[in-house]
Amino acid sequence: MDQSPEVLCAGIIVADHVCTPITHLPAAGELVMADGMLLTIGGCAANAAVDLAKMGVRASVVGRVGKDIFGRVVSDLLRETGVDTTFVHTSPTADTSQTLIVNVAGQDRRFIHTFGANAEFSAADIVVGTLPRVLYLGGYLVMPNLKQEELAPLFADARAKGVKTVLDVVVPRPGEYVGQLDKLLPHVDVFLPNNHEGELITGKSSPLEQAEFFRRLGAGTVVITMGGEGALLVQDGLRLKAGVFAVPYVDGSGGGDAFDAGFIYGLLQGKGPEDCLRLASALGASCVRAVGTTPGVFTKAECEEFLARNDLFLERV
């Protein structure tokens, strides 16, 4: 790229194999036909970078792939969308991370995953010397070599240089996660877990209680996404509940990453929390209209046209 990235998207990179919705899961030995199957980009860092590029933002992705065919495909697809891959490192020993996503009509997605090169990703891979305007880390808590003791000074230094820090997580199962967040969240400007992740971390079922918990740990703004129930934003002196935009639902893969990208776009534009939620909700909604994590996501022109024609329910709580 000719210019420094506006957003550095660090974290998980995945090759996704995803099918169009099928009628039912096959029984042993049964063949079920899908209308189509897609090999495409996946993973928080890659998805967010592609979505931001579609919104006209200079984005760079930081992560790891293998030297296999899937690593080459993912890297090529990222470059084709305009994403800078300078900081995508190739592992000499591990294969590219892959996810098989099975869509069954009327049901939530099913995932089969191999972790691959993402297991080697560490804070040392994140180079902030180019001084982006936003540092985004997606997939924290699921990457075993990513430690908050190394991330906290990295985030603190970025903020000291005027970089906004944005954090999202992937929480695979119940466990003790507060001890992996308490030193990091005080250096996070925006924290974006979903309500299921929030419950696994905090033990609290209420999204508002989850948000207040993360605020007490030090996060500046907390946004709890709640799927079809919308999102809840909590920051100093403000609690906002957002609804959702009604769109045809095809595949939920990547919806949360698109929401993150929309929120980051709002930050780059100097928008307030209401408009950041509108942009985030619009990109998140656009994502679920198509199979795969990024094909359905709005371009900047499409997003602006959509928001001009559609209102998002917002209320203070």
The CATH number of the domain where 302 resides is what?
3.40.1190.20
Instruction: Say whether pLDDT at 193 is over 90.
Output: yes
In a domain, 99, yes or no: no
Range of the domain at 136: 7-12+44-88+123-316
Residue labelled with tokens 């990703």: 121
In a domain, 104, yes or no: no
In a domain, 138, yes or no: yes
**Tens of pLDDT, residues 43-64:** 999 999 999 999 999 999 999 9
Instruction: Say whether pLDDT at 77 is over 90.
Output: yes
Residue-level pLDDT at 283: 98
Q: Note the pTM of the prediction, 2 decimals.
A: 0.94
pLDDT tier at 251 (50, 70, 90 boundaries)?
A: confident
In a domain, 173, yes or no: yes
User: Tokens for 81?
Assistant: 């969308």
The number of helix segments (H) and strand segments (E) in the chain equals 8, 14
Instruction: Say whether pLDDT at 155 is over 50.
Output: yes
In a domain, 58, yes or no: yes
In a domain, 56, yes or no: yes
List all residues 6 or more positions away from 263 whose beta carbon is below 8 Å from its beta carbon.
Answer: 166, 190, 192, 223, 276, 277, 279, 280
State mean pLDDT over 243-259: 93
**Tens of pLDDT, residues 79-118:** 999 999 999 999 999 999 999 989 899 888 898 999 999 9
Counted domains in the chain: 1
Please tell me which residue in 68, 257, 260, 311 is annotated as part of the active site.
257
Residue-level pLDDT at 1: 41
**Considering the chain, what percentage of its residues have pLDDT values greater than 90?**
90
Is 257 in the active site?
A: yes
